[in-house]
Amino acid sequence: MRFKYGMPPEVDCRLNNKSKLVVDYPRLHIKALMLGLLILGPSLYLMWRSMWSNDVILGTLKQPPEVFIPSLLLLIILHEFVHLLLHPRAGLSRDSLVGILPKGFMAYASYQGEQSRQRLIATLLAPLAALTFLPFLFASFAPPVIVTFLPGLSILNGVASAGDILLTFMAIRMIPHDAICHGEYFGFRATNDHNSSTPT
């Protein structure tokens, strides 16, 4: 695993018929912000409100700054860590990259090696499943002191996952089932390349 301050470096992609999954990141970020704030946030709030009171749901936001800020930072770290765990070799490969974008100070975890389309989609959706929906299922059995944090962190993670959801829809729509993903590219290996195995 490596750390990068800034955008992930360009990979030396030698796949045939290669294309970029995203060509306009600023536009993607704006769409993700709108999706998160206007649709995901309210929808997740209603999901939690079906079982819990506003006092519980807003428990995280009512915490003092010395509790809320570390909780938010921990959520960001956990979100990227879950992405990392789904990378090939569970993030231990040098192709796994953790970084921070100077503009907006957004964190990311990126895999710079080759992987399957299915692996990419699983990696994108893993934090949403683990940190937004699992806490909702776990809340009924959790001690009250933990339940205080679960709804707010679940909703915040859902809003933060908007970009991952958009990328997932793009991957499903644009990347053929048998294509290989390499960094931000996807394409196909040459048919006479027998030395490379299909990535997982």
The string of DSSP letters for 103-128 reads TTTEEEEEE-SEEEHHHHHHHHHHHH
Q: Which residues of the chain have pLDDT under 50?
A: 194
Q: pLDDT value at position 21?
A: 96
Residue 69 placed within a domain: yes
Q: pLDDT value at position 102?
A: 85
- CA 133 – CA 177 distance, rounded (Å): 27
Residues 6 or more apart whose Cβ sits within 8 Å of residue 193 = none
Total count of domains within the chain:
1
Entry pTM: 0.91
Residue 120 placed within a domain: yes
Residue 57 placed within a domain: yes
Residue 132 placed within a domain: yes
Tell me which DSSP letter residue 189 carries.
-
Residue 153 placed within a domain: yes
Domain that holds residue 79: 2-6+31-184
Residue 16 placed within a domain: no
Residue 194 placed within a domain: no
Q: How far is CA 112 from CA 12, 97, 128, 185, in A?
A: 10, 7, 22, 10
Residue 161 placed within a domain: yes
Q: pLDDT value at position 196?
A: 52
Q: pLDDT value at position 171?
A: 97
